[in-house]
Chain A
């Protein structure tokens, strides 16, 4: 009997997550003229600008692959993180009325944003596939490894989003402040440059920065056709899981007072 109730509950949470995510996805593109093309146009536009600057103005040597492909792998992964966290910072504040109306696990509101952005990531990945074919980067079975790496990155992103979204309910500056942090973080992550351009003694930054760990791992399996560096990936797993446990705990602790502060 109890088991059955649990099962119902679980099933219902999934349906709720499904509907919240599809609201997130549908609502965003229903009104825009180009609709879903924006998902692809956005990263493509950034790709073209950055490729132009860093192929013609400044050049990186010894990438092993043409720069646009190198760049796009990092860019896709970064855009997922950036857009998911920025958008979920207001996931709770924008649903103030809902928070006051009915109880359901609040983390689903944050998760639905991350899922919507994950869909964007996979759609834009099709462009990456084309780029790889155009630039003669061979496709190997190792590319399937981007899935587990992506799952790890998604958990990391979700954990971050949980903290930002709940703190933003208490102080609305959180989202602006974190916007600045994201800008700095972008430059401390090897998105537009390979980490080899940094002197040895500074490279530990990348080891501790999970975003850099994920991007290096994607590049390793997609472009270098090799297994990712398991030691740095291990650190990535450790940081991600620790962050998840802390942020989920914090979120659940604050959850009871969400309706009081919105």
Chain B
């Protein structure tokens, strides 16, 4: 079974122009528009084979993140059908579930269950998570508010990566930590590739996409402008930017 299937997916938002009831009431009296329909994705269809690494490229606002959010299941398509099969690890909004007052240890458990692991699974992986994050024991026992931002992201990344995913969603987060840690992240991602895990990779770095992905989807204004060979897709994208 194909892990990711998009069939004529549309996603539109209502852009609410007013954030408060006061503004809303004023707008209604003045006869202004209260909301506006905006398409983030339009008629998007594609399938991803198991074990493929797909790069998603496109300019800001082209719908890349929306696509990832749909795959992560945090938002619903307005119309069309999509089917995601398998366990998804979203490497987006890293550290979202962290609480600054809780210790590294408590946050590992908290974030682990949020990402879909059971306590037993976390206990088994606990050592691996700590050692991958390169955090010393004393830091694991410390509230994460005392962490540097690099340490914070390293821990968040390590938890997400040890959830045993079938599908990995990556949103430009490999700028985590110093270059040594970045290298380690890429090694880990390559290891995932070898283990036949499906990876969806959003990046603005064409070099990384070229090196890492065996297929590319180029989004332009919410529509698929190209889907296929990495090199050709990147070239098309770069040509579009320059023209």
Where the two chains meet, the residues of A that have a C-beta atom closer than 8 Å to any C-beta of B are 8, 11-12, 15-16, 19-20, 23, 26-27, 30-31, 95, 97-104, 170-173, 177, 256-261
Contact = CB atoms under 8 A, between A and B. Distances in A.
Given A15-B113, A19-B113, A99 B20 contact: no
A189 B102 CA distance: 38
Contacts of A256: 75-76
Question: Across chains A and B, which 8 residue pairs bring their CB atoms closest together, nearest first?
Answer: A97-B96, A256-B76, A103-B73, A101-B93, A259-B74, A101-B96, A173-B21, A259-B75
B102 A100 contact: no
B26 to A, nearest CB: 13
Given A11-B118, A15-B118, A23-B110, A103 B22 contact: no
Given A171-B20, A171-B24, A260-B13, A100 B99 contact: no
B118 to A, nearest CB: 6
A253 to B, nearest CB: 11
B80 interface: no
17 contacts: A8-B118, A12-B116, A15-B113, A19-B114, A20-B114, A30-B143, A95-B96, A97-B97, A101-B72, A101-B97, A171-B24, A172-B20, A173-B21, A173-B22, A256-B76, A258-B74, A261-B16
Instruction: Kindly state the interface size class of chain B when it binds its partner.
Output: 20 to 34
A19 B97 CA distance: 11
B74 A100 contact: yes
Interface of B: 13, 16, 19-22, 24, 69, 72-76, 90, 92-93, 95-97, 99, 101-102, 106, 109-110, 113-116, 118-119, 143
B16 to A, nearest CB: 7
Given A16-B114, A27-B101, A259-B69, A171 B76 contact: no
B21 A177 contact: yes
A214 B90 CA distance: 44
Given A27-B102, A171-B19, A15 B90 contact: no
Contacts of A100: 69, 74, 92-93, 96
